[in-house]
Amino acid sequence: MYEYLVGLAVSDDEVYAQYRAAMTPILHVYQGGFGFDFIVSEVLQSETDKPINRVFTIQFPSKEMSERFFSDEDYLQVKVRYFDASVAHTTIISSYEKHN
């Protein structure tokens, strides 16, 4: 399994919720899913100067599957419509092979 640990600065919760609803069926096509999902009220230490108020993990069966998802034309249209309108900054905190 391949996983990303992501920090976001969500600027519009309502539009971000629409993004999640629209992208989830596409995510499932690539056998992806969310592991953890947190709304963060305070960041005590960070390696970036960008704000973070949402932290989550997103998982795929392999790195290749994740790359296929993130380059999928339907996903990219959803991203432009909702994600870009609701997220001010994205920080990929880490990406790694996860062994269960």
Domain ranges of the chain: 2-97
pLDDT of residue 17: 98
Which helix (H) or strand (E) element contains residue 5?
strand 2-10
Q: What is the mean pLDDT of each run of 10 residues along the chain (100 residues)?
A: 98 98 98 97 93 98 98 98 98 92
Please say whether the beta carbons of 61 and 1 come within 8 A.
Answer: yes
Q: Which CATH class is domain 2-97?
A: alpha beta
pTM: 0.92
pLDDT of residue 25: 98
